[in-house]
């Protein structure tokens, strides 16, 4: 059997994901974020990829398992097993508008132009809310869009709310809640069960211990 | 021959998610299709063809409304909505229920097979093929475990025949979980089913009040392999869920008779993508593919949607997926390269035609200085050179040549070949 390959994301979740793998004894040293493939204990490999690419690696089987934010799972709707809430990276996705636009939110029939990294989630949310929307897809610094007139508001992740306050944005609705998840390829779950299952159990215990 | 490389224009490309098959890929594809088709025929399955377009209504009636987001749609001249078929089970159910079963002898099962290109309107940017080939069988009119065993054994045999040496077939039963979920209130049931369909297991146990069922759902992704039936046993609290487990056990026993039990694993965690499955379900996996190589199962209520009450089971094998896990070979080249000087061309053509009539593949070309090199590069078995001085037979494998007369030449070239392609071509 091929050894297990685990994908972890750069960025927001990287430090905690690497620390978790270290705690579980999978990694002996924390790799630098720029490393791409890192050999881990027992022949396992750890692969470091952009958050938006983790699910592609896992769905196609290039990685057997991965750690990824729930936000990506909701946005991309890939065919992977979501098995464990690993208990870090908590954040919320919200609709936020500048003061001047708040009045338009109070009239649900008004068309809003929303900048976001989550076009799919955003369009489903506005559909569910029966509010007309025009989506501007961005890949970063979403909070700038209303300031420069690119959009009326944003849908983005918030942790403390500081970025929103810095940019004079007010949360008007919660769209989703997110935390890091362990995902597994549907074939690896079965053909590499002897490698995958211990990992799942370890992560479940680690998450339970973290929650206490 | 020169190819001009101009600017990047749309007419130089094919749309996203579809592709050309050039040599030797197309030959590998056809050879695999022929191998699988041959296996189907050896088990008594008769080939059917259905049109690549169907009414949207037909496909939705068979596969459920959830399929609508995954279809290639076409508006017909009269305004009717047509779709490119996303799979073959529903079109064959339509064909069987409306045309084949009404005229068939009562009680006699129908065994049908197909090799067909199917189409999915995947979201762009997903890098998945939107047109791919499936080869499969449908066994209609037999609701027994013997029928389930036959199609599973045939599936395993097809993979073996295709050359997938490490394939495993996981066999489960939807009735086990389905019946336990049916006891839940409708809201909770819909929620759990949606989560299962998305394979979202994190936190699933908190979504139901029943602690036993919560325990089962927590265990479900690992409910396969050795001891799976024993571990599932305590959760099977209803008659139907117990029957499902008994069926799986009996099925595995029957698969021993086919000599495929060594590649079969019990797997109660299988959730298939199509909503028409009702009982035994199975998927096959091989190293090198993150997706199942084939999948299938029992769908006893599908034909009823087209007006025929008839139990059925079958599977579809993804030809492109199987090819992706097989070692890439260079394909089978034409056996004989016949290179003749222009003045011997008429004679060479006659010789080529005679060989072809005898079943020997011949590529006839103009004699060039690099014919030997070409033969070695392209893998021809023999090179025949016809010049003013006579006929020379060259063997690229040994790099030896000898002058021959026509009778000797015909005898050597017609000798049976051990090439795999010969076996696959009939």
The DSSP bridge pattern shows strands B168-173 and B280-285 to be antiparallel
**pLDDT band for position B6 (50/70/90)?**
low
Q: Please tell me the least confidently modeled range out of A54-63, A201-210, B51-60, B367-376.
A: B367-376
Q: Which residues of chain A make contact with B265, given a CB cutoff of 8 A?
A: 190
Mean per-residue pLDDT over chain B, rounded? 90
SS3 per-residue string spanning chain A: CCCCEEEEECHHHHHHHHHHHHHCCCCCCCCCCCCCEEECHHHCEEEEECHHHHHHHHHHCCCCEEEEEHHHHHHHCCCCEEEEECCCCCEEEEEEEEHHHHHHHHCCCCCEEEEECCHHHHHHHHHHCCCCEEEEECCCCHHHCCCCCCCCEEEEEECCCHHHHHCCEEEEEEEEEECEEEEECCCHHHHCHHHHHHHHHHHHHHHHHHHC
Mean pLDDT of all residues in A120-135? 96
Q: Which residues contact B119 (CB under 8 A, 6 or more apart)?
A: B52, B71, B72, B84, B85, B86, B130, B131
> What is the phi-psi region of residue B44: left when phi exceeds 0, alpha when psi lies from -120 to 50, beta otherwise?
left
What pLDDT does residue B279 have? 95
Q: Which residues of chain B make contact with A60, given a CB cutoff of 8 A?
A: 127, 290-291
Q: Which residue has the higher pLDDT, B89 or A22?
A: B89
What pLDDT does residue B183 have? 86
Mean pLDDT of all residues in A140-159? 94
Q: Please tell me the least confidently modeled range out of A30-39, B101-110, B157-166.
A: A30-39
Q: Cα separation of B55 and B42, whole Å?
A: 33
Of A46, A57, A59, A55, the C-alpha closest to A5 is: A46
Q: Please tell me the least confidently modeled range out of A207-211, B253-257, B305-309.
A: A207-211
Mean pLDDT of all residues in A32-37? 72
Q: Which parts of B162-291 are beta strand (E)?
A: 168-173, 264-266, 280-285
B401 within 8 A of B392, measured Cβ to Cβ: yes
List residues in chain B touching A: CB distance below 8 A: 127, 168, 170, 198-203, 221-222, 224-225, 265, 267, 269, 285, 287-292
Q: Which residue has the higher pLDDT, B98 or B420?
A: B98
Q: Do B290 and A81 touch (CB under 8 A)?
A: no
Q: Which residues contact B243 (CB under 8 A, 6 or more apart)?
A: B175
Tokens of B49: 């063809």
**pLDDT band for position B419 (50/70/90)?**
very low
Tell me how crowded residue B5 is: count the other CB atoms within 10 A of its CB: 7
Tokens of B392: 């020379």
A100 within 8 A of A170, measured Cβ to Cβ: no
What pLDDT does residue B366 have? 81
Q: Do A82 and B265 touch (CB under 8 A)?
A: no
Q: Is the bond preceding A155 in cis, omega lying within 30 degrees of 0?
A: no
Mean pLDDT of all residues in B287-305? 95
Q: Which residue has the higher pLDDT, A157 or B24?
A: A157
Please say if the pLDDT value at position B423 is more than 60: no
B115 within 8 A of B41, measured Cβ to Cβ: no
End-to-end CA distance of chain B: 35
For the four alpha carbons of A101, A104, A110 and A114, in that order, the dihedral sign comes to: positive
DSSP at B279: S
A49 within 8 A of A58, measured Cβ to Cβ: no
Q: Do B203 and A85 touch (CB under 8 A)?
A: yes
| 3-state SS assignment for residue B70 | helix
Q: Shortest Cα distance from A9 to chain B (angstroms)?
A: 19
What pLDDT does residue B125 have? 55
A2 within 8 A of A44, measured Cβ to Cβ: no
Tokens of A23: 């705690």
Percent of chain B with pLDDT over 70: 94
Prediction ipTM score: 0.84
Tell me how crowded residue B342 is: count the other CB atoms within 10 A of its CB: 9
Q: Please tell me the least confidently modeled range out of B197-206, B386-395, B412-421.
A: B412-421
Main-chain dihedrals φ then ψ at residue B225, nearest 5 degrees:
85, -160
Q: Which residues of chain A make contact with B225, given a CB cutoff of 8 A?
A: 190, 193
Among the partner-chain residues A58, A79, A187, the one whose CB lies closest to the CB of B289 is: A187
What pLDDT does residue B156 have? 98
Q: Do A200 and B291 touch (CB under 8 A)?
A: no
B89 within 8 A of B64, measured Cβ to Cβ: no
The chain A residue lying nearest B225, using CA atoms, is A190
What pLDDT does residue B421 have? 40
Please say if the pLDDT value at position A1 is more than 90: no
Q: Cα separation of B114 and B319, whole Å?
A: 12
Alpha carbon B143 to chain centroid distance? 23
Alpha carbon A196 to chain centroid distance? 21
Give percent helix, percent strand, percent coil of chain B, each to the nearest 5: 45, 20, 35
Q: Do B170 and A190 touch (CB under 8 A)?
A: yes
Mean pLDDT of all residues in B127-133? 86
**pLDDT band for position B39 (50/70/90)?**
very high
What pLDDT does residue A111 have? 95
Mean pLDDT of all residues in B109-132? 86
Q: Do A60 and B287 touch (CB under 8 A)?
A: no
Q: Shortest Cα distance from B54 to chain A (angstroms)?
A: 27
Q: Which of B154-168, B171-185, B332-346 has the highest mean pLDDT?
A: B154-168
Q: Please tell me the least confidently modeled range out of A123-127, B24-28, B165-169, B376-380.
A: B376-380
Q: Which of A35-44, A179-188, B9-18, B416-425 has the highest mean pLDDT?
A: A179-188
Tens digit of pLDDT for each residue in B404-413? 998 899 888 8
Please say if the pLDDT value at position B242 is more than 90: yes
């Amino acid at each position: 059997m091929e050894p297990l390959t685990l994908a972890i994301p750069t960025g927001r979740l990287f430090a905690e994901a690497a620390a978790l793998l270290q705690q579980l004894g999978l990694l002996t040293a924390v790799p630098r974020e720029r490393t791409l493939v890192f050999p881990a204990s027992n022949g396992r490999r750890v692969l470091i990829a952009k958050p938006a690419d983790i699910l592609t690696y896992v769905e196609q089987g290039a990685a057997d398992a991965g750690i990824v934010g729930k936000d990506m799972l909701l946005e991309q709707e890939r065919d992977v097993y979501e098995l464990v809430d690993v208990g870090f990276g908590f954040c919320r996705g919200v609709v936020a508008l500048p003061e001047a636009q708040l009045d338009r939110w109070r009239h649900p029939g008004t068309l809003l132009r929303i900048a976001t990294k989550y076009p799919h989630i955003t369009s489903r949310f506005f559909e569910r809310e029966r509010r007309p929307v025009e989506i501007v897809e961005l890949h970063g610094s979403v909070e700038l869009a209303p300031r420069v007139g690119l959009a009326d508001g944003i849908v983005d992740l918030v942790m403390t709310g500081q970025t929103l306050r810095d940019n004079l944005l007010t949360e008007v609705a919660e769209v989703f809640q997110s935390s890091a998840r362990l995902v597994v390829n549907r074939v690896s779950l079965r053909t590499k069960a002897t490698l995958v299952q211990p990992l799942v159990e370890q992560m479940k215990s680690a998450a339970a211990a973290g929650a206490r | 021959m020169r190819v001009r490389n101009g600017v990047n224009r749309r007419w130089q490309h094919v749309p996203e998610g579809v592709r050309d098959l050039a040599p030797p890929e197309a030959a590998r594809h056809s050879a695999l299709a022929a191998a699988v088709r041959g296996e189907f025929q050896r088990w008594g399955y008769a080939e059917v063809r259905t049109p690549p377009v169907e009414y949207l209504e037909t496909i939705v009636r068979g596969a459920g409304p959830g399929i609508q987001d995954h279809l290639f749609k076409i508006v017909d001249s009269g305004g009717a909505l047509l779709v490119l078929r996303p799979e073959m089970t529903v079109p064959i159910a339509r064909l069987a229920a409306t045309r084949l079963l009404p005229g068939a002898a009562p009680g006699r099962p129908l065994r049908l097979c197909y090799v067909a290109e199917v189409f999915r309107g995947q979201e762009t940017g997903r890098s998945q093929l939107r047109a791919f080939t499936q080869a499969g069988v449908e066994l209609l009119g037999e609701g027994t475990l013997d029928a389930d065993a036959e199609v599973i054994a045939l599936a395993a045999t097809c993979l073996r025949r295709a050359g997938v040496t490490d394939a495993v077939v996981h066999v489960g039963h939807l009735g086990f979980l389905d019946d336990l979920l049916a006891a839940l209130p409708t809201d909770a049931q819909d929620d759990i089913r949606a989560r299962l369909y998305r394979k979202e297991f994190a936190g699933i146990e908190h979504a139901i009040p029943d602690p036993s069922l919560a325990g089962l759902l927590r265990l479900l992704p690992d409910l396969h392999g050795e001891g799976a039936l024993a571990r599932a046993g305590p959760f099977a609290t209803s008659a139907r869920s117990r029957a499902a487990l008994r069926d799986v056990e009996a099925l595995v026993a029957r698969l021993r008779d086919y000599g495929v039990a060594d590649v079969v694993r019990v797997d109660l965690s299988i959730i298939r993508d199509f909503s028409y499955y009702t009982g035994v379900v199975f998927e096959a996996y091989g190293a090198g593919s993150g997706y199942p190589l084939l999948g299938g199962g029992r769908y006893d209520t599908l034909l009823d949607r087209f007006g025929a009450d008839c139990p059925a089971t079958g599977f579809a094998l993804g030809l492109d997926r199987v090819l992706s896990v097989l070692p890439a070979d260079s394909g089978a080249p034409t056996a004989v390269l016949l290179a003749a000087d222009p003045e011997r061309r008429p004679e060479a053509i006659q010789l080529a035609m005679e060989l072809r009539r005898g079943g020997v593949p011949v590529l006839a070309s103009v004699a060039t200085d690099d014919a030997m090199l070409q033969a070695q590069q392209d893998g021809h078995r023999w090179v025949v050179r016809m010049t003013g001085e006579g006929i020379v037979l060259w063997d690229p494998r040994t790099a030896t040549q000898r002058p021959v007369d026509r009778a000797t030449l015909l005898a050597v070239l017609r000798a049976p070949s051990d090439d795999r392609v010969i076996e696959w071509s009939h």
